[in-house]
Amino acid sequence: MKLVSYKTEDREHLGVFIKGHIHNLNSCDKLIPDTMNEFLNGGEELMERAKKVNEEIKSGKQEAKQEVFFEMLAPVPHPSSCRDGYAFRQHVASARKNRRVEMIPEYDQYPIFYFTNHNAIQGVGDIECMPDHFEKLDFELEAAIVIGKKGKNIKAADADSYIAGYMIMNDLSARTLQMEEMLLNLGPAKGKDFSTVIGPWLVTPDELEKFKISPKPGHTGNAYDLSMKCWVNGVEVSSGSMADMDWTFAEIIERCSYGVDILPGDVIGSGTVGTGCFLELNGTGLLNDPNYEPQWLQAGDIVEMEVTGLGRLTNTIRRVNTDWSILKLKKNQESRTKNQELGKSN
């Protein structure tokens, strides 16, 4: 089942996507809430009701109105939180190699994650970026899960049952802001908090059964062989697979839930697949060829991501018409510059 959130006349709704059409779930079963957040908080009972409606529409047993005039939203428009993991060893190893540093051994000991801005979640469509964001603006090709029931201190062996569904995620990153603030060993913050894109729909785990594979040796949880690709302006720039995840979502959930509740509507990203961002691609390119021309996202660029079974997520990058910059807001910058000039003159 593919669950979608959409808007008509400034009202949010919950629907199912079937054969290119959206059908409102509440109109088919009044016990199903009309928003994703309420639906997820209803747990497994509502999920089963929705699956029944989905099958009845597919089989023709139930006639359901097809939405015509609507605005697609992020599948989970208002997550209760948003975390992002670091599940692909290839990406981490390549990024460190490009910086000429050794692979960090702690990577293989436990999964990690950070919290990002759950109020900056977006779906398909335009992404508005400030001038500073365009200082090395980057995509990040990822998958993500949505939590479907409350839990705490969950073991990895039991964690997959807490997953309501899977989506594509684009963790947009302003690299200059990110690198500047992380010099202080805290973050990422402003380099990441302006937009995280998820969509186009939430795919329930049963739809991915045919792609299931064994996790990597020594790991626990469901794994899937799903091709992951990204295009910028029609040119393929990234290709990988969810099969390359070293840490499973189950293991990430185990760590996330240690000593704390995870809640219905929590979004958890996988982290970037190998080759899944310009930061990695540019680093590898420059390492192999000093004349390599780095590439970053520009205003007007169209970013398309596709994951087998999860659909295609398309966004257009737009520039906000302003010259407001936080990169220029540095205390004592003027005095430091004067001191440097005095030092040179002496």
Residue 286 near residue 94, CB atoms below 8 Å: no
Distance CA 73, CA 81 (A): 17
Give, as one character, the DSSP assignment of residue 240.
E
Helix axes 278-288, 89-98, angle to 10 degrees: 50
Query: Phi, psi at residue 47, to the nearest 5°?
Result: -60, -40
pTM for this prediction: 0.94
Per-10-residue mean pLDDT for the chain, 346 residues long?
97 96 96 98 97 95 86 98 97 91 94 98 98 98 98 98 98 97 93 98 98 98 98 98 98 98 98 97 94 97 98 98 94 63 56
Q: Which residues pair with 13 in a beta bridge?
A: 6
* Residue the block writes with tokens 């407001």: 324
Distance CA 98, CA 220 (A): 30
Distance CA 217, CA 235 (A): 35
Distance CA 255, CA 270 (A): 13
